[in-house]
Amino acid sequence: MALLSTQTLELRAHHLLCILGFRGLGYSQAFAENMARVIRDVRSGLYYHIRVTDRCDAICSACPHIKNNQCLKEENAEAKAKQRDSEVMKRLGVKLEDSFHPDDLQALIAEKIAPSDTTQICQGCQWLDLGYCISGVAALLAEH
């Protein structure tokens, strides 16, 4: 009998949507590989809980724009990321440090966020224009 993981992964709230829209691209090769690994680990059951945060997380750890746990991609980048985190938490009805099983979190996203919501939530993100967020949320809705 396989043992269930009890590990917890901390993720920025807006990264919950980024994971859905990820298509293998990123700010660098190391970033894309790290994000793919995080997603693979979540889907494989390595993490039993995801804790929602508004700070740098496992995805940020390989980002070339992070310095001293702050996003410096552009002016006000950290504030913009926190605003996206706040908007996702508000729409999902969750608070900082809330923890969820990954399946429960996906069901909550499918229930509370429509693909078209990403145009407001992800406003200003370079990946939004590629349509990844919209198609990622749409695919999740199709599963639920």
**68-102: per-residue pLDDT in tens?**
999 999 999 999 999 999 999 999 999 999 999 99
Q: What is the average pLDDT score of the chain?
A: 91
87 with 73: CB under 8 angstroms?
no
**98 inside domain:** yes
**109 inside domain:** yes
Total domains in the chain come to 1
**140 inside domain:** no
pTM: 0.91
**16 inside domain:** yes
Strand (E) or helix (H) holding 140: helix 132-143
Location of structure tokens 């390595």: 46
Strand (E) or helix (H) holding 110: helix 102-112
Structure tokens at 53: 């945060």
Cite the DSSP H helix spans in 1-144: 15-21, 29-43, 77-92, 102-112, 118-121, 132-143
**66 inside domain:** yes
**142 inside domain:** no
| Boundaries of domain holding 29 | 7-128
Query: How crowded is residue 123: how many other Cβ atoms within 10 Å of its Cβ?
Result: 12
**1 inside domain:** no
